[in-house]
């Protein structure tokens, strides 16, 4: 199994958990339903993480921010940038 298959399976498992928790919340008393909905929000965050891993992939090139590290701007002197 490659990493993409494992990430996809983790994403599918989170979606299955969300579906099951939603079914439990639908048929339970209000207090339990509220607790289940709070748990669903955490599972949604986990699913979003796996979706980003699948979407971006290993070879995703990111653009560096226009500022330096740690958050310094470039000073320009006489038409040349000074780092």
Q: What is the pLDDT along the chain (83 residues), one digit of tens a residue?
A: 788 888 899 999 999 999 999 999 999 999 999 999 999 999 999 999 999 888 887 655 555 555 565 655 555 555 555 55
pLDDT number for residue 3: 80
CA distances from 43 to 22, 65, 66, 70, 72 (A): 11, 30, 34, 33, 37
pLDDT number for residue 31: 95
Q: Domain map of the chain by residue range?
A: 1-57
pLDDT number for residue 30: 94
Task: State how far the Cα of 13 lies from the Cα of 22, in Å rounded to an integer.
Answer: 14
Q: What is the token pair recorded at 55? A: 């979407």
């Amino acid at each position: 199994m490659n990493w993409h298959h494992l990430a996809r399976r983790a994403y599918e498992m989170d979606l299955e958990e969300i579906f099951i928790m939603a079914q439990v919340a639908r048929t339970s008393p209000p207090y339990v339903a509220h607790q289940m909905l709070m748990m669903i929000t955490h599972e949604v965050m986990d699913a979003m993480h796996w979706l980003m891993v699948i979407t971006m992939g290993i070879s995703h090139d990111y653009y560096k921010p226009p500022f330096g590290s740690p958050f310094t701007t470039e000073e320009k002197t006489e038409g040349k940038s000074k780092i």
